[in-house]
Amino acid sequence: MTASHEQPPAPARRRTVALATGTAAALGLAAVSLAGPARAASVLTVAKDGSGMYTTVQAAVNAASSGDTISVAKGTYQEIVNVPATKTGLTLKGATGNAEDVVITYDRAAGYTDSSGTKYGTLGSSVATFSANNLTVSGLTVQNTFDRAAHPGITDTQAVAVTAQGDRQTFRNDRFISRQDTLLNWAPSATGQYRQYFTSSFVTGDVDFVFGNATAVYDRVTIQLRDSGAAAGGLNGFLAAPNTNSAKTYGILLTGSTISSSAAANTYYLGRPWHPTADAVGQLVIRQTSLPAAVKTAGPWTDMSGYSWKNARFFEYRNTGVGAGVNSNRPQLTDAQAATYTAQKYLAGTDGWNPVG
């Protein structure tokens, strides 16, 4: 797996005129300031049938200002969406509140090429890229429909649905669908503060489909391990592939969740450490989560590209279900350690952010 690495807008000019103190006093007046009122946040509507302000999500994003809300009507929107870092505080939501109703979808893989013949790469394969801080996304499905079987000549099969690469991003009641590399939690600066919170959502894939070097919490989500046809004891895939920088305490946390699968028993690893740089030491905790029979119970962690999972920071804590277990290949947090690996601890950062409630 490879990733090709690739200011908020200026505020409205304030027009201020103040009488000099001496002049105001001479006139018997108080000094005054004439400032324009603060801009109220707007709601921009999107509908494929033309009944909204825009017919594509990206057109609404382009028109939005920081703090605005984009409400997307029921429908399937076949497009690439990019929310740049300048659109701080944006809310993007499905109008019905049901993520199955509002689908952003596209077919793109890392091995596809653009008009110049250059491969898109992992980051470029993303259907939706969210770079803005203080972003909220709710009630949406984002889906990458790339089909390996239909493109046997494509060897770079990473097909990202969402790249989350901002700080203080919240995703609620969403669905994220692909196969390889579904959801990228990315820190453009490996040691920088980039925190992303996912709750009451659904994620599905088969190879490294929750991955990256940002700090990400998956809280009360449903994760589906897709069945690629391997027989019991074979290999269907890998859930996670963190490449957390060694200077960061927190990488990816999966807590209070449900992992489901129709795949045969003992065909899935929970994770492997992506090690693209010497200072990448993946950090992942799966705690108090139900695990299916598809998980390799004897040893749910594995090496990646010659880098041992034992050198990474992988732990479990009080998991349940047929796929749960405790043995020498399944490191467990102690109760004392678990107290420091909670959703709140992961997300607090330097400013005490707590979207968990």
The burial class, CB within 10 Å (0-12 / 13-18 / 19+), for 14 is: exposed
Q: What would the pLDDT profile of 216-272 be if each residue is shown by its tens digit?
A: 999 999 999 999 999 999 999 999 999 999 999 999 999 999 999 999 999 999 999
Average pLDDT, rounded, for the chain: 91
Residue for token pair 């420091």: 340
Each residue's pLDDT tens digit, 123-179: 999 999 999 999 999 999 999 999 999 999 999 999 999 999 999 999 999 999 999
Bigger pLDDT: 317 vs 2:
317
Distance of CA 155 to the CA centre of its chain: 24
Structure confidence at residue 2 as a pLDDT band (50, 70, 90): very low
Q: Tokens for 52?
A: 């909204």
Residue for token pair 């493109």? 151
Least confident range of 15-19, 20-24, 289-293: 15-19
The whole-angstrom distance between residue 31's C-alpha and the CA centroid of its chain comes to 50
Q: Which amino acid makes up residue 226?
A: R
Half-sphere exposure of 227 (CA within 13 A, CB side): 12
- What separation, in Å, do the N-terminal and C-terminal C-alpha atoms of the chain show? 35
Q: Per-residue pLDDT tens for 297-319? A: 999 999 999 999 999 999 999 99
Running DSSP on this structure, what letter comes out for residue 349?
T
pLDDT at residue number 330: 98
- The model carries a pTM of 0.89
Residue whose C-alpha is closest to residue 270's, from 281, 286, 283, 256: 286
Neighbours of 78 (CB within 10 A): 13
What are the boundaries of each domain within the chain?
71-348
Class of domain 71-348: mainly beta
Q: What is the pLDDT of residue 1?
A: 52
The whole-number pLDDT of residue 20 equals: 34
pLDDT-derived band of residue 113, with 50, 70 and 90 as boundaries? very high
> At a CB cut-off of 8 Å and minimum separation 6, what does 24 contact?
30, 31, 32
Category of 173 on φ-ψ map: left (φ > 0), alpha (ψ -120 to 50) or beta: left
What is the pLDDT averaged over residues 46-61? Answer: 98
DSSP 280: B
pLDDT band at 23 (very low <50, low <70, confident <90, very high): very low
37 confidence band (pLDDT: 50, 70, 90): low
pLDDT of residue 73: 98
Per-residue pLDDT at 357 exceeds 80:
no
**Would you say residue 280 has pLDDT above 70?**
yes
Q: Which of 123, 185, 113 is nearest to 158 (CA)?
A: 123
Residue 25 has pLDDT above 80, yes or no: no
State how far the Cα of 31 lies from the Cα of 340, in Å rounded to an integer.
53
Let me know: does 286 contact 323? Beta carbons within 8 Å. Answer: no
Strand partners, 184: 163, 211
Q: Per-residue pLDDT for 83 more than 50?
A: yes
Between residues 357 and 178, which one has the greater pLDDT? 178
